[in-house]
Structure 1
């Protein structure tokens, strides 16, 4: 018998010890509660339609629990700093752009507290309730904002 096996057997027979731990008894991390779905208010469809040439119907913007979890996993350091600003970006974006990867749009606003801006990506196809859904959100640097403005991917909204 090896020394390691003997040590384990002695430890298993120690007072108060019942023997090896079964798979069901293993310590597990407590699960974090899922984030609550957030209604971020109405999408500024008039500005988006005028600026990007879309024909969107009025509807609220929903940041689902799943989308929040996605954003938190993709941007774990940034998500807690970004979350308080998402609703403000949706209601009053500084820039708009078509999301070339998804069937969506990008709303961007400069947020000094983030040291640049915040991009909120939305689907342009409303769900069964007529709401628009956030795909993700993440910080973007000022250089990236300026680069996208220069190449026409971000446009200042046409307001009334």
Structure 2
């Protein structure tokens, strides 16, 4: 399969900054060929659910998070049509040389894992 880079959409950062205390600027979010391949091969059961929902996650995320020790990334979540799952996308916190953000990974996550992230303090409602 040919994994192509593709633009996901404009990442609006105001709510993310308010919640995480960051100073990100609005910019396009892209999934690179390598990240696209990673999602397809490392998360094959989620691929057909995740890919069509990437733009929905950045347009209206329900949660934002950042794990301690992973200051280079943050993640956004949004529930999908399946009530017990959400799409998680991990995004590099620094823009690349083209001025855009890189999607690092994306996969489906269970509601139980969302609650675990919240209880650990790694996830906040937007």
Q: TM-score, normalised by structure 2?
A: 0.91
**Higher mean C-alpha deviation, range 132-141 or range 101-110:** 101-110
Equivalent in 117, 121, 125 of residue 152 of structure 1:
121
**Higher mean C-alpha deviation, range 92-101 or range 129-138:** 92-101
1:122 aligns with 2:91: yes
8 Å contact 1:99–1:121 — kept in the other structure?
A: no
Q: Number of aligned pairs?
A: 125
The residue number in structure 1 matching 2:12 is 44
Equivalent in 78, 103, 116 of residue 109 of structure 1:
78
For the aligned residues, what is the CA RMSD?
1.5
Q: Which runs of at least 4 in structure 1 moved beyond 2 Å after TM superposition? A: 99-102, 112-115
* Greater RCO (Cα-Cα under 8 Å, separation 6 or more): 2
SS in 2 for 1:93: coil
The residue number in structure 2 matching 1:72 is 40
What is the CA-CA distance between 1:96 and the residue it aligns to? 0.1
Where do 5+ consecutive residues of structure 1 fail to align? 1-31
Please identify which structure carries the higher helix content: 1
Q: TM-score, normalised by structure 1?
A: 0.73
Please identify which structure carries the higher strand content: 2
CA distance in 1, matches of 2:115, 2:33: 31
**Higher mean C-alpha deviation, range 42-51 or range 107-116:** 107-116
CA distance in 1, matches of 2:114, 2:92: 20
Where do 5+ consecutive residues of structure 2 fail to align? none
